[in-house]
Structure 1
Amino acid sequence: MNTKQNFHVIGFLLLLFALFSGSWFLWLLGGLFFFMPAAQSWWTGNMRRWVKLEWTCDQNRVMPETPVHVTVRMHNRSWLPLPATWLRLTLPDHVTVEGADEVRQSHQRTVVRLRMDLPWRQSAERTLILTPHKRGMVWISEIQTESLPLFADETSAIPFPLSFSLLVYPLPLPLPAISLHDSEPDGSRLSRQRRQEDATFQRGVRPYIPGDRLKHINWKATAKTGALATRVFEHTARPDWRIVGHLLPSYEPLQQRHNVTVNERTISCLAALSVLCRKRSLGYDLYMSVKQRGRDHFHQPAGSGKNHHLHVMTQLAQINHFVTTPLAPILRRLEESPSREAILLVTPRLDEGIEEAIGRLLRRGHQVAVLDVSEEQAVLRRYESSRIARERREIAR
């Protein structure tokens, strides 16, 4: 039996003796043994009405190895003191914690315990330093509170809801030295085959042609002439990149191979490319061979601004327990594009199927560069096509 049941047994015996003896003292003592468990249950159920918990941090989006300072405050609004109140929370095992009273590892989780001594009608404050070492999301949905137990060592945990999330971006992988004029997959000069329009600069209008986009219609010119007119933009020599990330299955049973480390290197390389495009103001589409919201692959539309970069980094940080898909459908979709695309493929494995897909892309006039991340140091290779043969050159190592 636990302590609460022992209290009930003692109270029952005292009330039984009081019934036969008629002693008021035994009546009061037996009622006290029944009253104490009831009071404990009532206080446990209503503790969250008078005790409040606050959680504040200095930043919510960080890179790995960045310390995050967290302030925990508890407010006691009741007239009862709460000495030796413990707060218990769990974090992923890759997060190190400083400033706690107890930190231990259990079932691939970091268990943290804090002691808070709360006088009546006052508050207490503690400061923690959280340091994540891997990308991903750090969630805390509730904190368990253990107050000073009434029945010996039988503590009762009271959950306090908490909404806290820490987004850890992937650490960019060091890229080989890339020179814009000789190794950019999108080219550096304007040609008839790669004529693309920059919507930033308008150079005139022309009559509407079926198939033109509605957002490019010039409504002022249409109202003046009485016929639909389409805006004409300046040509640009910097089309958007098509960055394709090839993620392998986490485990391949036939080869008995784990690909977690290789996939993390691929994601870090994609993050490094996003940073590079952000610094050089280059637009790009991002494709990844993982399922997304019912689609066969992940696709982030083209963009080049700060918001686009943050959205891509957020998506890369949140990729976890993904379901991989074949790379061939993505390359086939790019192959069927009517315009000449600039494709940068990030892959840890160049097999015959990928080589054949690259050959078809080159024959259709696309420019292809491959960033091989099979080793610790990434290698950038550029594929070029000619009428006689296809030549592959190693650009950087």
Structure 2
Amino acid sequence: MVQEVKQRLARLAVRPSIRFLLVAILLAIAVFTGMATGFDLFYRLTYILVVTLIVSYLWVQLMHRSLRVEVTGRPRLARVGDEILETVTMHNNAALPKYAIEVSDLADIPGHRGGVAVSISSLDHAMWTMHIQTRTRGMYHLGPIRVVARDLFNLFSKSSEFGERDEITVLPRVLELPGFEVPTAQLHGDSSTRQRSQSVTPHASSVRDYAPGDALSRVHWNSTARMGKLMSKEFDLGRASEIWVLVDLDRTVQAGELEESTDEYAVTMAASLVKRHISAELPVGLVAFGDERYFLPAETGLGQSDRIMQYLALAKAEGDTPLNEALADYEPLWGHNATLIVITPSPRVDWVVGLSELMRRGVRITVIQLDLESFGGIGDVAESQEEMLSRGIPQFYIRQGDNIVEQLSNRGGLNGAPTAESDRQILAGV
């Protein structure tokens, strides 16, 4: 209702431009000079300017009148890099044709600009497709559609808005990473080692005869009906191998803009790794410290993948928790059955010590470090790279503009270093 009232008020307003102010000043000078000198030339100029203003004003009113706009085909979900297509139909219900009507979508998607100019015959309509490129993940809005009519001299303009604002969630880009392998040979999928549990867990492994004291929640009714006797479910502790992805969204270590920013690179890699390991039927969990603390326990299945993608889409690089504190907060989660993949642009060294402690406890670690300086930030990652090398922490190194798929292959990026000298040292040790 409020949006409709605003749109109606907007249709009533004709806005003068800067050119109108210049014409108004010129008109005032012509009138004053004509009255002071009596020259006919100034009176004629006054008449011409007045007629121009009146005609321009009426032109805008006529061009804007009796227009109706419809929008169809707006999606609710998109992915970074997708092109959103929406069909716009403009109807001219007036007997006069419309010329050079400007039409644009007021979407708040970063990087979106521009529109089209449309001319429509009398009592006709025009239909076209608007293209909106998605460059960053997040929750955005499409619409409303703004229609602007101008006169031939651009003295006046009149605009109005049609339609509603529709939400759209832009999910992170997902890349295929066939060459990425975590540094362990102990990961398993469905055939992983399981441990029996006396408690009810999400992992039901088999059925057995009902035993006195079993709760009704343990009874497997389908098997009971088939076997003709009470059967109870047996549970285990789940898969022995879990993949955890930790994304560092601390605002103090971010740099770059739009899709060429550290947080977009980090989230793209996180989403790609989640997809890869979920597809391998491994349980995957997420930890991200951004504008909020985003946490999802390790689970399997497409539902888990969808939940993580939603979290990654909404997470903003506005966190105030350094990586070393994030590791300390969630350290109890990770045991000898966990593989932790850390994605960070942080050039600090203190978090490397925390990772060493996790490795000592049997947690398998992989670090993907972004070169902050290559994104326009301040901070040399050479010291943290050397510290990880000395402690035997597997690492990948990503610069702005790198081919992520190539860099996240064990041949292209494992133990990568930020300098040519470090690269030579690594190659010499292979």
Segments of structure 2 that go 5 or more residues without pairing to the other structure are 1-19, 29-53, 222-230, 375-384, 386-390, 396-408, 415-430
Q: 1:374–1:355: structure 2 CA closer, same or farther, 3 Å change rule?
A: same
Match of 2:172 among 169, 176, 193: 169
- 1:70 to partner: Cα distance: 3.0
Provide closer, same or farther for how the CA distance between residues 124 and 269 of structure 1 changes in structure 2, counting only shifts above 3 A.
Answer: same
Paired with 1:155 and 1:161, the residues of 2 have a C-alpha distance of: 20
Matches within 5 A, 1:299-318: 299-318=295-314
Name the structure 2 match of 1:361. 358
- C-alpha displacement of 1:337: 4.5
Q: CA deviation at 1:124?
A: 1.1
Aligned residue for 2:370, secondary structure, equals coil
Instruction: State the AA in 1 paired with 2:313.
Output: A
Looking at structure 1, the residues matched to 352 and 329 of structure 2 have their Cα atoms a distance apart, in angstroms, of: 16
Which structure has more strand as a fraction of its residues? 1
- Cα distance in 2 between the residues matched to 1:157 and 1:238: 62
| 1:146 partner amino acid | V
Residues 66-101 of structure 1, C-alpha deviations (whole Å, 9 max, x = no match): 44433211123455543332213456797xxxxxxx
| Secondary structure of 2:115 counterpart | strand
Which residue identity does 1:126 align to in structure 2? W
Moved more, 79-88 or 199-208: 199-208
Deviation at 1:3, TM superposition (A): 11
Matches within 5 A, 1:269-288: 269-288=269-288
Q: What's 2:89 paired with?
A: 73
Seen in structure 2, the aligned counterparts of structure 1 residues 322 and 156 have a Cα distance that, compared at 3 Å, is same
Q: Deviations over 1:177-201 (max 9, x none)?
A: 3279716499985376999966243
Matched, 1:156 2:152: no
Residue aligning to 1:326: 322
Q: Partner residue of 1:387?
A: none
Q: Is the 8 A contact 2:81 2:173 kept in 1?
A: no
Q: 1:250 to 1:215 in 2, by over 3 A?
A: farther
Match of 1:203 in 2: 207
SS of aligned partner of 1:155: strand
Q: Percent identity?
A: 14
RMSD over aligned Cα atoms = 5.0
* 1:83-102 alignment runs, 5 A limit: 83-89=99-105
Measured after TM superposition, the shift of residue 270 of structure 1 is 0.5
Distance in 1 between the 2:189 and 2:198 partners? 12
* 1:125 to 2:127 alignment: yes
- Summarize the alignment of residues 179-258 of structure 1 with structure 2, pairs less than 5 Å apart: 182=185, 184=187, 190=193, 199-204=203-208, 218=219, 231-234=233-236, 236-250=238-252
Taking structure 2 as the reference length, the TM-score comes to 0.57
Partners of 1:248 and 1:329 in 2: how far apart? 11
Q: Secondary structure at the match of 1:111?
A: coil
Equivalent pair of 1:61/1:166 in contact (CA under 8 Å): yes
Cα 1:74–1:206, aligned 2, differ >3 Å: closer, same or farther?
farther
CA contact (8 A) 2:189 2:281 kept: no
Aligned residue type for 2:300: S
Matched to 2:130, the amino acid is L
CA contact (8 A) 2:183 2:366 kept: no
- The one-letter code sitting in structure 2 at the alignment partner of 1:123 is H
> Aligned to 1:144, which of 143, 146, 149?
146
Confirm or deny: 8 A CA contact 2:139 2:314 kept in the other structure: yes
C-alpha deviation, 1:350, in angstroms: 7.4
Counterpart Cα distance in 2 of 1:169 and 1:341: 28
**Equivalent-residue separation in structure 2 for 1:269 and 1:184 (angstroms):** 20
- The count of corresponding residues between Structure 1 and Structure 2 is 323
Equivalent in the alignment of 1:29: none
Note if contact 1:195-1:237 (Cα within 8 Å) is conserved in structure 2.
Answer: no
**Residues 263 and 317 in structure 2, CA contact (< 8 A), matched pair in contact too:** no
Letter in 2 for 1:155: S
Q: 1:240 to 1:216 in 2, by over 3 A?
A: farther
Distance 1:112 1:195, change over 3 A: farther
Q: Letter of the aligned partner of 2:126 in structure 1?
A: A
Equivalent residue, structure 1, for 2:291: 291
SS in 2 for 1:373: strand
Matched letter for residue 117 of structure 1:
S
Matched, 1:342 2:338: yes
1:328 CA drift (Å): 3.9
